[in-house]
Each structure stands twice: as structure tokens, then as C-alpha cells.
Amino acid sequence: MPSVPQTVELGLRIVNSSEEKGVPVRLLGGVAVYILASAVYPKVPSLSRIPKDIDLVAHAKDSSRLTSLMENMGIEADKRFNALHGYERLMFREPSSGTRIDVFLDVFRESHVINLKDRLEVFKPTIPPSDLLLTKLQIWSISERDIKDIIALLLKFKVGSSDSVSELDANRLISLTSNDWGLYKTVIVNLSRVTDYVKGHGELAEISGEVIGKINDIRFKVEKAPKSIKWRLRSLIGERVKWYEEPEEVS
């Protein structure tokens, strides 16, 4: 059995140590995908990857306590970055490995904004599977790595009505995309991109039917759900105004 990557071990240690101190912290990004979906890697080796960085989400009100906890673990805060962005995001580094640790505070902001404030107590040690999938589907300039993560999540989880170790909540995807046309647009485009990727890679032939079936199920649910007035007004503008952000890469 392959050993657990150091980033995964460290991420879990941070979550568990914080939990012991009454500070809820959850994993997202590549480490979260590894924890939830790495069981599919032996079946489809081309999907496997070792995450290099650690992404976390915590409550903004706990930022000072979390910083102290990290420093007590020997993890160094990026004081300049945190002074500039600490209202919404913190950055740390584990000095011996150089591993970067990003902490989003209440809100996950990349191509789109996803509020996770009320989602930290729903599931652990990661954010709920539906939110994890959405953090990948919301990336406008999506990478092959992110597409592979989406495929791994779709292989691992049933599309259902709750978040659990075996199911992801389609209602969460519907709720957010039915109120935000821009997020809806990006999600629909990326579902098509993932479908094209699966069809274009022969090593995925055995799992293509299952993955594309789940993609079609999600797409149908998202497209058919009633939309808010805000969504309908923004849809009238359509692609004439850019609907996604292009976040700067943080080194």
C-alpha cells in the first residue's frame, strides 16, 4: 500500500489539532480530494496525484486563534500577506518542507465566490463533497489536474440529496447555481469540458459511462431548477459582461 503523502498527513494534523482546541477547520483542494477519493486511484491510475500544497477553510472570527495554533505547531505565518489579506485569507508555510498552507476565511474566492461559513460543521475533515466538487467546477481556466479531480469525485460519490462518505448533495449545487448566473454558466461549461476530456482519453473508457451519466444527471438538475430574479436579470446580459474573476496566482 502506498504511503500517505506528507501534505495529507500535515493537513489532517492541523484539522485534528484545531478541533481539539474548539476551532473548526476543514480541508479543501487536492488534499481533500485525496482524502475523499483516492480509493479510486488503483482502479484509474491516471487520476492519481500527490498534492503539493494544503488548502483549508476556517471561520473569520477564529483567525487569531488559528494563527496561534499554527505557530504552536511550528508553522510560520506569512505576516506580510496576512496583514494585507487577513480579513478573508491567511497564508502559512511549514518550514522543513516548504509546504504552502492557504486558509480561506468563511468565503472561498477564485473564479467565483462560494460562502462556506455555514458549511464547516456539516462534514469533516474536509468540506462537504458537494462543496468540494463545486470548488473545482467554479474554475473558469480549469486545468487538467482539476478535471481529473472532478472525475475522481464523480467516481467516488453518488449524486444524491445529502453529503456523506458516499454521496454528494445535488441540492447544494442547485441552490448556488440557481441564484448566480455566472456560477451557473461556468459550472455548465466545465461539465461539458469534463465530458469531452473523458471521451477523449482511452484510458478512461471503462469508467466513461458512469462519469458521463453523473455529469448528465447534475446538468439536468441544475438546468431545470427554478432560477431567482437575480439570476434571470443577469442572464439577460449574458456573455457581454465577464461573469468570472481571474485571480492572481499567489507564490
Residue 248 has a pLDDT of 76
Select from 117, 133, 127, 213 the least CA-distant residue to 173. 133
Residue 206 has a pLDDT of 96
Cell reading at 81:
500577506
Residue 212 has a pLDDT of 98
All structural domains of the chain, each given as residue ranges with its CATH number in brackets, are: 6-240 (3.30.460.40)
Residue 188 has a pLDDT of 98
Measured CA to CA, the distance from residue 104 to residue 32 in angstroms comes to 14
Each residue of 2-58: pLDDT tens digit? 689 999 999 999 999 999 999 999 999 999 999 999 999 999 999 999 999 999 999
Taking the chain (251 residues) in runs of 10, the rounded mean pLDDT of each run is 87 97 97 97 96 97 96 96 94 96 97 97 97 98 98 98 97 98 98 98 96 98 98 98 87 59
Q: Tell me, yes or no, if the pTM score tops 0.85.
A: yes
